[in-house]
Structure 1
């Protein structure tokens, strides 16, 4: 007889037992909701017994990034200066929707301070190590989200993605990470970094689980889309600057994945976007959109040097406060024009494919000891993923097969084509599973 799946409560208790063992050295979760999680798991089990399931998310163990409001507590967003902030009066909209879908919210996960950096270090917390190699970084800013899914202490974790903060930790920890089209998932109750770029997306061990969580948070019909056949699928590959400085194992596995898609009937074609990337770099020469908008979010405290804030966050935000409103407005108008051009470029294809990140996770000791290496690493981690945010596209990172240190295959779809992108990702995921 097939082994019976554990109940939601049984699975939750198995996870909590693991977390109890490491309680004195917990680095992934910043807060656990023991009582409410047990209540939610019991309620899910009762619904299951009564045949009254709320859908495929019911009873699943879900963690949330430490920037989502939970009623009755201050939202820290990875920062100790918010410990005295006014408690949230309501759950964030996505948290409300997850609970309504039957999710068991186990706790909040570690993030970099104010979601501004991508390597995964937060000076106010002990370093949370990569789930595959504890000597290496886990990525950010949704640092704990990538780890908890990879180690199995959550089925699904919810993060935010402003320049790659879902897809970077997903790729570095060997899981799936989905960045939806910005504003498709409501941002209310999520502490902002850049209102124009912020997206809320799931990390999970499968595309199907990401699709389920995404549908719940977007308020759409809760279903996994039907996989789109790879036969005849047009995949654009933007070789050029996004492929520079790529480590050989990642380059080899990426090319192997493309050949697998081609063998399955996909049409692989070159599609240069370097001119648009260069134009965006020129448009943001006075400062990144995230930096400028983030400086406005945090303007009240940036000049206070007595506050204990990560200088890798404070210094760049403070520098962007001097960018004038006129320059910012001109930048956003230019961005809209470039986004339209990118949409025209991608319209000839079903998806773009490129490596999520060009490198494997570096050693923690290396980025801690050498600030120049830290900055170089962060630049490489953000380089490819930020394109989807800058040009307002949807993107998903899938684990590349056969790597000793994880890497990601990123599929990028047109603005608003999120569910079709997920449907194509399902087929690519199935193919990748056969290439191991």
Structure 2
């Protein structure tokens, strides 16, 4: 595997005979199994024999000129939330790994990926039960961020292994989940592209839940186009052609409310430089305040929708296996168990109000822009040593991305940090159901920023 494979470049190399799928998948496993590498912390389990067999079958079909799907022979990793027939799904939990039975069938989206020809490499590491934005896992190890390995920084979560599998050339693309930012955070932290679809866009059958009214599943990859292809496959739609549009006359809202508070200097600098480039390309940028976004803090005062629904999803497991859980995940679930039904319903009412009023404020913009994460990837060791710092950092990392989850909106993160500086992401958010539009604008913005 060479650096920064995309689906398009891999497909071209395969079609031209410059590489076979078996060679590609073997190279991925060479990276995964590299001594001293991040592979053993990036993957919880791999499906090597099956993957090589699938790759060989794809190569044989290609030699016979048999038409295949858009992901034919391309290695893809799956977060350890997605059922794979014949394999356990353990959600990053050592306790669950002791009792989990092999899945009887693929998750719906896994079946769609297979039908498109994807070669499934294995289950990637994650925060236990996906309940944190930091990506820390005390059971299977925490894969280190690609930036500043000497110091050691958090990978972002909860889809930590998904991001590292792509960033470390162990997979061409990865599938993660996003309930409060778990695709976009590790993507931004590792200089990747990540797409959170509109709530309800993809089937979640066969996906371990965290919060049923917020959960989404989407891709992490090396380009917007990669995310577009995978999103279409998982939605059961034909793969659309790339649709680069001029930014001249496009109207983008720069969300001031909450999203620009207390930014790291490097994040703020990269964000401003990106906006200047977008404006020079002809887009109209308008700073907007949306009072309804303040509902985010009103919801937080009552607990959290994620917490209430996560406790509902995992309370049975918590009762029987608490001692074997990540203590910080366990503690947050136990606190969430104290949220009353009245407070939960109030939070849902606040969410609905936030959705309706924000739509009225932003519907006339082509997209809303903001920093994906307010801070650069923090050092891992101090967070491991302090519960207080863990909580504060987790909240700050999740803040901007979680706005999109509460709104149920599609959002794409694209890398904008300086090559020799901290990884930084620019988030492009649209209206609910406007997934194709968000991907179009993100691709056009990314093209301008890369020139």
TM-score range for the pair, normalised by the shorter chain length: over 0.9
Which residue in the other structure is 1:176 paired with?
193
Task: Give deviations 1:225-282, integer Å, cap 9, x for gaps.
Answer: 4123211111100124311221222211111111111111111001112x22222321
Shift of 1:149: 0.8
Shift of the 378–89 alpha-carbon distance from structure 1 to 2, 3 Å rule, reads same
* TM-score, normalised via structure 2 length: 0.92
Alignment of 1:51-66 (within 5 A): 51-66=65-80
Secondary structure in 2 matching 1:428: helix
2:27 paired residue number: 14
Counterpart of 2:86? Answer: 72
Q: Describe the superposition over 1:172-195 as per-residue Cα deviations: whole angstroms up to 9, x where unpaired.
A: 000000000011011000000001
Residue 246 of structure 1 aligns to a residue whose secondary structure is: coil
* Distance in 2, Cα, partners of 1:322 & 1:72: 37
Residues 174, 407 of structure 1: 8 Å contact kept: yes
Shift of 1:18: 2.5
How many Å apart are 1:39 and its aligned residue? 1.4
SS at match of 1:121: coil
5+ long unaligned stretches in structure 1: none
CA pair 67-282 structure 1, distance change in 2 beyond 3 A: same
SS of equivalent to 1:298: helix
Question: Hey, what does 1:98 align to over in structure 2?
Answer: 113
State the match for 1:211 in structure 2. Answer: 228
Report what 1:194 is aligned to. 211
Deviation at 1:199, TM superposition (A): 0.4
162, 167, 182: which one aligns with 1:145:
162
CA distance in 2, matches of 1:389, 1:306: 28
State the alpha-carbon separation in 1 of the partners of residues 168 and 326 from structure 2. Answer: 27
Task: Please tell me whether the aligned partners of residues 120 and 138 of structure 1 are also in contact (alpha carbons under 8 angstroms).
Answer: yes
For residues 239 and 64 of structure 2, the distance between their equivalents in structure 1, rounded to whole angstroms, comes to 20
TM-fit CA distance, 1:123: 1.2
Are 1:231 and 2:231 counterparts? no
Deviation at 1:306, TM superposition (A): 5.3
**Quick one: distance in 2 between partners of 1:248 and 1:184?**
35
SS in 2 for 1:21: coil
Asked if 1 retains the 8 angstrom alpha-carbon contact of 2:130 and 2:158, the reply is yes
Task: Report whether the alignment pairs 1:276 with 2:292.
Answer: yes
d(CA) in 1 for partners of 2:377, 2:300: 27
1:112-169 superposed Cα distances (whole Å, 9 cap, x missing partner) = 0000011111111222101233211101000011111111111000000000000000
1:37 aligns with 2:51: yes
Q: Structure 2 stretches of 5 or more lacking a match?
A: 1-12
Contact preservation (8 Å) 1:65, 1:108: yes
CA distance in 2 between counterparts of 1:310 and 1:17 reads 30
Map residues 18-417 of structure 1 onto 2, 5 A cutoff: 18-22=31-35, 26-83=40-97, 84-134=99-149, 135-273=152-290, 275-304=291-320, 307-403=323-419, 404-417=421-434
Is 2:442 the counterpart of 1:425?
A: yes
Aligned residues: 432
The answer as to whether partners of 2:135 and 2:154 remain within 8 angstroms in 1 is: yes
Deviation at 1:314, TM superposition (A): 1.4
Structure 2: distance between partners of 1:24 and 1:175: 19
For 1:49 and 1:305, how far apart are their aligned partners in 2?
A: 51
- In structure 2, the CA distance between the partners of 1:334 and 1:373, relative to structure 1 (3 Å rule), is closer
After superposition, what is the alpha-carbon deviation per residue over 1:92-127, rounded to whole angstroms, capped at 9, x for unaligned? 111100000000111111000000011111111222
Q: Secondary structure at the match of 1:349?
A: coil
Report how far residue 304 of structure 1 moved. 4.5
- Counterparts of 1:433 and 1:162 in 2: how far apart (Å)? 29
Bigger drift between 297-306 and 117-126 goes to 297-306
Any conservation in 2 of the 1:235–1:351 contact (CA below 8 Å)? yes
- Whether the 8 Å CA contact 1:81–1:307 is kept in 2: the answer is no
